[in-house]
Amino acid sequence: MAYYPNLILEALAKVRYPGNGQDIVSAGMVEDDIRIDGNKITFSLIFEKPNDPFAKSLVKACEQAILTYVGAEAEIKGNITTKFKQAPPKPEKALPQVKHVIAVSSGKGGVGKSTVSANLAVALAKAGYKVGLLDADIFGPSMPKMFGVEDARPMGVEMNGKEMIEPIEVMGIKLLSIGFFVDPDNAIIWRGAMASNAIKQLINDAHWGELDYFVMDLPPGTSDIHLTLIQTVDIDGAVVVSTPQQVALADARKGLQMFQTEKINIPILGLVENMAWFTPAELPENKYYIFGKEGCKELAQERNIPLLAQIPLVQSICDSGDAGNPIAMNNDNMVSKAFDSLAQAVVTRMEEVKQ
């Protein structure tokens, strides 16, 4: 008996794909490559994805349909190949001109995460690196105040036919914050999707240019904002900030766990113990452990991660932030030197985790 392609297609049209109930011919699952050599029949089936659960059973159903409706003498077993549609191209990586992306996080608010982020960025810039700083603390943006640029309004710039946001340049840092675009006297009351979209815009629609380090000041806790950032940007490492207080450390553990989960798996650069001790200006050699002693050091040892820095609690840190002049700008201050050491520790750890 002579076989011909239409006869094969008529038989295959009786086979339905279990996933949607359509016959495989109408569904476009039979590739236009039917070959007939005497009794030997070969063709290909096309599936959407490589792990299609119905692939094997569908091949067997096609073999049976050929033998039933074309002819029992047809040589079909083992002659049906499976192909898969190409995966869609991956979206272009955000921040392609940025070498290192650092997320600064905390398990809870009030531990000085934003202060650490701002002064880390300043210390990196002082060391000669090109630095960008994103205030991703969408519901409590504080960077405009800390850098004394509350009245600044980023301008638009056209890049390759697309309108982009030009970050504010201050103290050698490229800075963007949602605080530049909202009324500072009004609370930001947004649903999660709105906040996530705003963060994406500040990353993807901004002209960050070439940077050595891109520091992101994350919101406190663990939320959908964090997931948005992780999905939007390839984060190279995370810095977790806490005070030595046990309540803060309990939340810091959750923050560490978030980054170390299998699906997220972002390297922890280390812990920063903020407000490690109180030192009065008139007694610079004295240390008073108001929130407990070396709690972050113990947690770092417990989790086998570095303790990057211990930052003391001094009045000048608060005063400098309120005045729009991060204390790391003051080269003669002991706290400034602590932030310089933190920046160097971050650079060293980044080199280690990227090896």
At residue 29 the predicted structure's pLDDT band, cuts being 50, 70 and 90, is: very high
Tell me, yes or no, whether 46 and 170 share the same domain. no
Query: What 3 state SS string does the chain have?
Result: CCCCHHHHHHHHCCCECCCCCCECCCCCCECCCCEEECCEEEEEEEECCCCCCCHHHHHHHHHHHHHHHCCCCCECCCCEEEEECCCCCCCCCCCCCEEEEEEEEECCCCCCHHHHHHHHHHHHHHCCCCEEEEECCCCCCCHHHHCCCCCCCCEEEEECCEEEEECEEECCEEEEEHHHCCCCCCCCCCCHHHHHHHHHHHHHCECCCCEEEEEEECCCCCCHHHHHHHHHCCCCEEEEEECCCHHHHHHHHHHHHHHHCCCCCCCEEEEEEEEEEECCCCCCCCCECCCCCCHHHHHHHHHCCCEEEEEEECHHHHHHHHCCCCHHHCCCCHHHHHHHHHHHHHHHHHHHHCC
Long-range Cβ pairs for the range 17-22 (8 Å, 24+): 17/54, 17/58, 18/54, 18/57, 18/58, 19/52, 19/54
With beta carbons less than 8 A apart as the criterion, state whether 259 and 316 touch: no
Which comes out higher in pLDDT, residue 158 or 170? 170
Q: Supply the pLDDT for residue 110.
A: 87
Radius of gyration of the chain, Cα coordinates, nearest whole angstrom: 29
Task: Report the domain count for the chain.
Answer: 2
Tell me, yes or no, whether 138 and 193 share the same domain. yes
> Is pLDDT at 33 greater than 90 in this prediction?
no
Q: Supply the pLDDT for residue 189.
A: 60
Q: Supply the pLDDT for residue 192.
A: 61
- pLDDT tens readout for residues 80-138: 999 888 655 555 668 889 999 999 999 888 899 999 999 999 999 999 999 999 998 88
Which amino acid is residue 327, in one-letter code?
I
Q: What are phi and psi for residue 67, nearest 5 degrees?
A: -65, -35
Which comes out higher in pLDDT, residue 113 or 193? 113
CATH number at residue 169: 3.40.50.300
Q: What is the mean pLDDT of residues 171-190?
A: 81
Structural domain span for residue 238: 98-353
- pLDDT tens readout for residues 218-228: 988 777 778 78
Tell me, yes or no, whether 115 and 76 share the same domain. no
Question: Of the ranges 26-35, 184-193, 310-319, which one carries the lowest mean pLDDT score?
Answer: 184-193
Tell me, yes or no, whether 119 and 51 share the same domain. no
**Domain membership flag for residue 135:** yes
**Domain membership flag for residue 93:** no
Instruction: Give the percent of the chain with pLDDT over 90.
Output: 56
Tell me, yes or no, whether 79 and 104 share the same domain. no
Q: Supply the pLDDT for residue 311.
A: 93
**Domain membership flag for residue 92:** no
**Domain membership flag for residue 91:** no
Q: What is the mean pLDDT of residues 186-207?
A: 78
Q: Supply the pLDDT for residue 318.
A: 82
Q: Supply the pLDDT for residue 315.
A: 82
